[in-house]
Amino acid sequence: MTGLTIHELGAAYRRGETTPTQVVAAYLARIERLDARVGAYLTVTREAALRAAAAADARHRAGTPLGPLDGVPLAVKDVLCTRGVRTTCGSKILERFVPPYDATAVERLAAAGAVLLGKTNMDEFAMGSSTEHSAFRPTKNPWDLARVPGGSSGGSAAAVAGDLAAGAFGTDTGGSVRQPAAFCGVVGLKPTYGRVSRYGLVAFASSLDQIGPLGQDVRDAALLLGAVAGHDPRDATSVDAPVPDYAAALDGGVRGLRVGVPREYFIEGMDPEVGRAVREAVETLRGLGATVEDVSLPTTDYGIAVYYVIAPAEASSNLARYDGVKYGLRVGGAKDLIEMSSRTRAAGFGAEVKRRIMLGTYALSAGYHDAYYGRAQKVRTLVRRDFARAFERVDLLVGPTTPNVAFRLGEKEDPLAMYLNDVFTVPTSLAGLPAVSVRCGFSAAGLPIGLQLIGRAFDEPTILRAAHAYERATSWLARRPSLA
């Protein structure tokens, strides 16, 4: 009963072969049996899930389902506010925070009939690439429990890969949906900045954060995106543009599409197995009728440096709100307000969050603002120009999602080594462009490899169409992790 894609599940419901309650109960049982080993969830919303499933049963019985997600069990990263359900952001400082409202994305999923199974583990405040920075516990990669699932949306990616949810949502600021999708061998999409409302998404870096789906295949990702995309007056940065039918746009193939391969995305020091798998994927697209061109994105190398100024700067401002006054942890016994906040933040934040707050505060402080933040914003313009130039010649870009496959827990202790994992995902985030990661092979050790397809702003249909054509032409999805 678990392991069906969302579109297969929808078909099974329509034919009356199974019911949302049966499927949701099967997922809950599987979570109960296996999640102690995987650690994908921080909170499982069992009772509410069964109630929502019963309501979906009734709609399906009456022949009036709300759409393709009605009765589909999903997991949501614990950085999206859920009314009445604890939302921790993977942090001690919000360990007991219960939001009084739903994020817009959560509200839209509920309106589409989706069933929330629970909230998934993550690097604290979405800062990290391994989910080891969760204040509660690390998540393990279902393909090899000694390895990380990636991050920061590691819980969501592991939930989908381990059949602990039919689909999931994460958030991506510099690669936090795509990198775990690559490490866990699922499909992960970062939409164009502004495509999905950030209302109720606990802010990390507001000019970069986007909510994105993780699915078992490209069609599932398209269905999930369609349910949450669109303008929301409660997020002034959400763009008022029509939402295409992403699932309907999947067919048509890649014949005539111009695919650019950025030469800077094949670097010294990257895993040769990753490079080989990605080059083979490019050949597959060529074989399907796409034309392939070499392109150059010369500022790629500077992306991480730009990102680690801008994201911490925005984070230092966004996280100022955790001062122990209105919600979250408070450390008592302080003599004044400043001491109370300083002690609360010292006790409530983990090492990575403190590091980024410090870095961001430094980059914005008097005397350093122009040298760091000002300069990083200008280089961000150069990164955008790289993409704009490339997209004059090609319709999409294709390259690796990450330079390596999933690494071992504890392997990257040096913060900078961890940051460099995002070298191919960060530039797209800086430019606000959509990008999707799909499985394109396995390492000799049996770990999935991710292919990244990058599109023009708001051109999710083209990257999804190409990803779908690639997925249909290959058989990588047949392999599944053996969690039991």
What is the helix, strand, coil percentage profile of the chain, to 5? 45, 15, 45
Tell whether residue 431 is a contact of another protein (CB under 8 A). Answer: yes
Reading the block at residue 231, the tokens are: 């303008």
Of 432, 434, 448, 455, the one binding another protein (CB under 8 A) is 432
Give the start-end residues of each E strand in 98-159: 115-120
Nearest-5° Cα angle at 43, 351 to 96? 60
Q: Does 176 bind another protein (CB under 8 A)?
A: no
Q: Is 239 in the site for another protein (CB under 8 A)?
A: yes
Dist CA 339 CA 156 (whole Å)? 37
Q: Which is nearer to another protein, 208 or 228 (CB)?
A: 208
Q: Is 46 in the site for another protein (CB under 8 A)?
A: no
Q: What minimum distance in Å lies between the beta carbon of 431 and another protein?
A: 6
330 lies in the binding site for another protein (CB under 8 A): yes
Residue 173 backbone phi and psi in degrees, to 5: -110, -40
Q: What is the DSSP letter of 446?
A: S
81-100 binders of another protein (CB under 8 A) = 96-98, 100
Helices (H), 214-328: 218-228, 272-287, 303-318
Q: How far is the CB of 413 from another protein (least distance, A)?
A: 11
Q: What are phi and psi of 440, to 5 degrees?
A: -135, 25
Please enumerate in sequence order all residues whose Cβ is within 8 A of that of 335, keeping only pairs 6 or more positions apart, or say none. Answer: none
- Please report, as a single letter, which amino acid is at residue 250: L
**Any idea what the Cα angle at residue 365 is, between residues 385 and 419, rounded to 5°?**
55
Check binding of 192 to another protein (CB under 8 A): yes
Q: For the CB of residue 114, give the shortest distance to another protein in the complex, in Å.
A: 24
Q: Which residue has the tokens 């040769």?
A: 272
Q: By CB under 8 A, is residue 341 in contact with another protein?
A: yes
Q: Which residues pair with 439 in a beta bridge?
A: 450
Q: Per CB under 8 A, does 242 bind another protein?
A: no
Taking CB under 8 A as the criterion, which residues in 362-381 touch another protein? 362, 365, 371-372, 374-381
- Quick one: 146 or 417, whose CB is closer to another protein? 417
Active site residue 412: no
446 binds another protein (CB under 8 A): no
- Say whether residue 146 binds another protein (CB under 8 A): no
CB 238 within 8 A of CB 232: yes
Give every CB contact of residue 48 below 8 A, 6+ residues apart in sequence: 85, 116
- 305 part of the interface to another protein, by CB under 8 A: yes
User: Contact region for another protein (CB under 8 A) — 29-37, 147-155, 287-295, 329-337?
Assistant: 329-337
Least separation in angstroms between CB 337 and another protein: 5
Cβ 249 to another protein shortest distance, Å: 21
Binding residue for another protein, selected from 46, 263, 279, 355, defined by CB under 8 A:
355
Q: Which of 152, 156, 197, 429 is catalytic?
A: 152
**125/476 with CB nearer another protein:** 125
If one asks whether residue 279 binds another protein (CB under 8 A), the answer comes out as no
The yes-or-no answer on residue 152 being catalytic is yes
The answer to whether 315 and 360 have CB atoms below 8 angstroms apart is: yes
Does position 340 bind another protein by CB under 8 A?
Answer: yes
Number of residues located near another protein, criterion CB under 8 A: 74
Would you count residue 382 as binding another protein (CB under 8 A)?
yes
The CB-of-86 to another protein minimum distance in angstroms stands at 11
Which pair of structure tokens corresponds to residue 10? 């929808």
CB 311 within 8 A of CB 173: yes
Site for another protein in 398-417 (CB under 8 A): 414-416
Marked catalytic residue, from 91, 130, 176, 437: 176
Q: Determine if 388 is a binding residue for another protein (CB under 8 A).
A: no
For 110-264, strand residue ranges (E) read: 115-120, 167-172, 187-190, 210-215, 258-262
119 annotated active-site = no
Task: Please name the residue ranges forming H helices in 165-228.
Answer: 178-184, 218-228
User: 16: exposed, middle or buried (C-beta count within 10 Å: 0-12, 13-18, 19+)?
Assistant: exposed
Which residues form the catalytic set?
Answer: 77, 152, 176
